[in-house]
């Protein structure tokens, strides 16, 4: 295949650290090359080097060449000056970043930001550029593109913001699109739509794609060839079918093994487990605080949710972004005040508890958040961080604090001599272990884990979920595990609850829900999960039908029993 981009012996450094070492690969014309590896493997440094943005991040290209093969002859990108680079970026080579909210200017409208690309690279007037921006939004399947022009990024969902980024990147019909983890933070249905969109647009304008990810399911979905990076070096390269069928390098094999695959099975349900958590008809509303309806109406983020959780059991909660998962989790712990309903934790009515009662409840119910770095005070050493809940609840004295910290670190697989280190001295996976140790410091009965591994590499995420399963068996802890990754949910959960638009639409034993989904929304979620089968790729997702599949006799809260212990809501919300 004729190369569009050739990277030869690339070396990238940050100070004395070599981030990329003697890296060589080709991106063929019209094809998709996936660059895979864990955090720190050099993927993003390579992408930034191709656009010569690495210097802005404090790095430098220490050696090698990056060549763009154009009709007028090859162009050595490493030799271009700043004026020539401005003509290259966004015009012949474009890039889509992982987090659109930090890539879009929050104080400019979507229309102005997309129009700027046409003004800079196509010398259009402001009016012409806005018309072109509307067409660009329409081309990436954004509904009501004219209305979106006057909106700001915070008014759009994560999926729509990512589509805006793609519209900007494709505005000038580039020869090469670099997509750096563009779907990592998205739920599975939005991810499936974005991958399908990139494939369709690629076929339409004939561009090549360099797709950077650590998700092997996404690689199987979109890539033609794959380059595996480890610690800045290429360890394996080949056609996707060859690497998936028979990975040769031990690290490639490790990545494949660590990637959760739907259908791999769930843990055995605990026998005779008594009920620890009982949520009944819970509703949480937020008042509208701005605009014409300010103070006149409210939004129901959680509507009439009922669920239960046994001792030493894990309930997996799945659904798209904005469906109310995190609001439900915070409502259960009364970090957000519910509007109505009942929450019983170990038989105690949490919603009727006074301040002292809530304090006692939070000793038995702890939370682990998605971003471990944002959850830890960067100014405190580990021995203070992981024992802080224990100190607050009077479980440990100042004299015994360091001993407890060392014991907690050992329980989550970290070295005891790390008690004097600070959060920035740990990797992402290690920081998440610190958050788990912190939650364990008060010996809780329940841990609510809100997307605890979505920001982690697959091998690190596997280690964290293994740790949680081990702690459950050893300590008898119950978990409410929230995630948009259904394969991860299957691996850790005894039962699953599917949430859509603030309601539970289906719940039951994990294998019953996953193998025999009864609600149309559940089936749509499962159809969106990337498969590790490179022989046939998924077609576009079908829209949700107006009505869901009928179920059996009623079981309260709008759910009906479709199979033993398996309940489904009749109406498709």
* Residue 528 neighbours by CB distance under 10 Å: 21
As a whole number of angstroms, the distance between CA 459 and CA 484 comes to: 18
Q: Where are the beta strands (DSSP E) in 168-270?
A: 176-180, 208-213, 225-230, 233-239
Pairing of strands 566-569, 559-563: antiparallel
Please give the chain's pLDDT, 573 residues, in tens.
789 999 999 999 988 889 999 999 999 999 999 999 888 889 989 999 999 999 988 899 999 999 999 888 999 999 999 999 988 988 899 998 877 667 889 999 999 999 999 998 888 999 999 999 999 998 887 888 998 999 998 888 777 888 898 889 888 888 999 998 887 767 788 788 888 888 888 888 889 999 998 888 889 889 999 999 999 999 999 999 999 989 999 999 988 888 888 888 999 888 777 899 999 999 999 876 555 555 567 788 899 999 999 999 999 999 987 788 989 999 999 999 999 999 999 999 999 888 888 888 889 999 998 777 778 899 999 999 999 999 999 888 888 999 999 999 998 988 888 999 998 888 777 888 899 999 999 999 999 998 888 777 788 888 889 999 999 999 999 999 998 889 999 999 999 999 998 999 999 999 999 999 999 999 999 988 887 777 666 555 555 554 444 444 444 457 899 999 999 997 644
Inter-residue contact 93 to 176 (CB < 8 Å):
yes
As a whole number of angstroms, the distance between CA 288 and CA 282 comes to: 20
Are 3-92+173-258 and 285-511 the same fold in CATH? yes
Q: Which CATH architecture has domain 3-92+173-258?
A: 3-Layer(aba) Sandwich (3.40)
Q: At what angle do helices 520-528 and 188-205 cross, to 10 degrees?
A: 50
- Dihedral pair phi/psi, residue 476, rounded to 5°: 70, 25
Record the tokens describing residue 429, joined without a space: 């996976």
Cβ neighbours of 83 (radius 10 Å): 7
Whole-model pTM: value is 0.82
DSSP state of 29: T
pLDDT given at position 461: 84
Dihedral sign of CA atoms 376, 378, 383, 389 in order: negative
- 314 phi, psi to nearest 5 deg: -120, 125
Query: Can you say whether residue 503 is alpha, beta or left, with left for phi > 0 and alpha for psi between -120 and 50 degrees?
Result: beta
How far is residue 349's CA from residue 343's CA, in Å, rounded to a whole number?
6
Name the residue with tokens 């997307």.
451
For residue 33, report the phi and psi dihedrals to the nearest 5 degrees. Answer: -110, 125
Tokens representing 91 are 């015009």
Provide the pLDDT for residue 214.
Answer: 80
Q: For residue 326, with 0-12 CB atoms within 10 Å meaning exposed, 13-18 middle and 19 or more buried, which class applies?
A: buried
Give backbone dihedrals phi and psi of 84, rounded to 5 degrees, phi first: -65, -35
**3-class SS of residue 440:** helix
Residue 433: name the closest of 404, 396, 402, 471 by CA.
471
Q: Rounded CA gap, 208 and 5, in Å?
A: 9
Residue 292: the pLDDT is 54
Q: How many CB atoms lie within 10 A of CB 361?
A: 18
Q: Where are the domains of the chain?
A: 3-92+173-258, 110-171, 285-511
| Of 236, 258, 233, residue with least CA distance to 247 | 236
**Cα(168)–Cα(153) distance, integer angstroms:** 13
User: First-to-last CA distance in the chain?
Assistant: 48
**Would you state the pLDDT for residue 542?**
54
The runs of H, that is alpha helices, within 493-539 are 510-515, 520-528
- Superfamily for domain range 285-511: P-loop containing nucleotide triphosphate hydrolases (3.40.50.300)
CA–CA separation, 567 vs 562, rounded Å?
A: 6
How large is the C-alpha radius of gyration of the chain? Answer: 25
DSSP E strands in 166-256: the ranges are 176-180, 208-213, 225-230, 233-239
DSSP state string for 367-415: EE-S-HHHHS-TTS-HHHHTTHHHHHTT-S-TTTHHHHHHHHHHHTT--
């Amino acid at each position: 295949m004729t190369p569009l981009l050739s990277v030869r012996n690339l070396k990238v450094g940050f100070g004395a650290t070599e981030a990329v070492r003697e890296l060589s690969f080709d991106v063929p014309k019209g094809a998709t090359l996936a660059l895979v590896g864990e955090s720190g493997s050099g993927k993003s440094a390579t992408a930034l080097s191709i656009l010569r943005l690495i210097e802005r991040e404090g790095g430098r290209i220490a050696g090698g060449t990056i060549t763009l093969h154009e009709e007028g002859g090859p162009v050595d990108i490493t030799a271009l000056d700043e004026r020539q680079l401005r003509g290259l970026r966004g015009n012949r080579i474009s890039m889509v970043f992982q987090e659109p909210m930090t890539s879009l200017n929050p104080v400019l409208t979507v229309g102005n930001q997309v129009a700027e690309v046409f003004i800079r690279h196509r010398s259009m007037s402001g009016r012409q550029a806005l018309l072109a921006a509307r067409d660009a939004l329409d081309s990436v399947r954004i509904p009501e593109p004219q209305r979106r022009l006057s909106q700001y990024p915070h008014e759009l969902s994560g999926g729509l913001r990512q589509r805006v980024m793609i519209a900007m990147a494709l505005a000038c019909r580039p020869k090469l699109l670099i997509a750096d983890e563009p779907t990592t933070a998205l739920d599975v249905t939005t991810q499936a739509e974005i991958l399908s969109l990139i494939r369709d647009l690629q076929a339409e304008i004939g561009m090549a794609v360099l797709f950077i990810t650590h998700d092997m399911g996404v690689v199987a979905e979109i890539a033609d060839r794959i380059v595996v990076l480890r610690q800045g070096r290429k360890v394996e390269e080949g056609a996707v079918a060859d690497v998936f069928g028979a990975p040769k390098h031990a690290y490639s094999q490790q990545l494949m093994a660590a990637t959760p695959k739907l259908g791999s099975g769930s843990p055995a349900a605990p026998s005779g487990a008594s009920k620890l958590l009982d949520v009944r008809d819970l509703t949480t509303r937020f008042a509208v605080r701005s605009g014409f309806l300010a103070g006149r109406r409210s939004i129901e983020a959680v509507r009439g949710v009922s669920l239960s959780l046994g001792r030493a059991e894990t309930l997996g909660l799945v659904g798209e972004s904005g469906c109310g998962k995190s609001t439900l989790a915070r409502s259960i712990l009364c970090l957000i005040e519910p509007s109505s309903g009942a929450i019983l934790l170990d038989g105690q009515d949490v919603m009727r508890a006074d301040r002292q009662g809530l304090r006692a409840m939070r000793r038995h119910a702890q939370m682990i958040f998605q971003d471990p770095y944002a959850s830890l005070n960067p100014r405190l050493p580990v021995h203070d961080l992981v024992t802080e809940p224990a100190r607050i609840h009077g479980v440990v004295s100042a004299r015994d604090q360091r001993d407890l910290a060392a014991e907690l670190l050992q329980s989550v697989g970290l070295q005891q001599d790390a008690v004097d280190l600070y959060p920035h001295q740990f990797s992402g996976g290690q920081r998440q272990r610190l958050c788990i140790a912190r939650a364990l410091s008060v010996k809780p009965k329940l841990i609510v884990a809100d997307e605890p591994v979505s920001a982690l590499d697959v091998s690190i995420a596997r280690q964290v979920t293994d740790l949680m399963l081990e702690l459950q068996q050893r300590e008898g802890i119950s978990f409410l595990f929230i995630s948009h990754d259904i394969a991860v949910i299957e691996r850790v959960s005894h039962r699953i609850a599917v949430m859509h638009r603030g309601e539970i639409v289906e719940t039951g034993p994990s294998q019953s829900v996953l193998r025999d989904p009864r609600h149309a929304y559940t089936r749509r979620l499962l159809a969106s999960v990337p498969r590790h089968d490179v022989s046939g790729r998924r077609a576009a997702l079908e829209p949700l039908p107006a009505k869901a599949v009928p179920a059996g006799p009623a079981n309260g809260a709008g759910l009906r029993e479709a199979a033993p212990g398996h309940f489904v809501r009749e109406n498709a919300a």
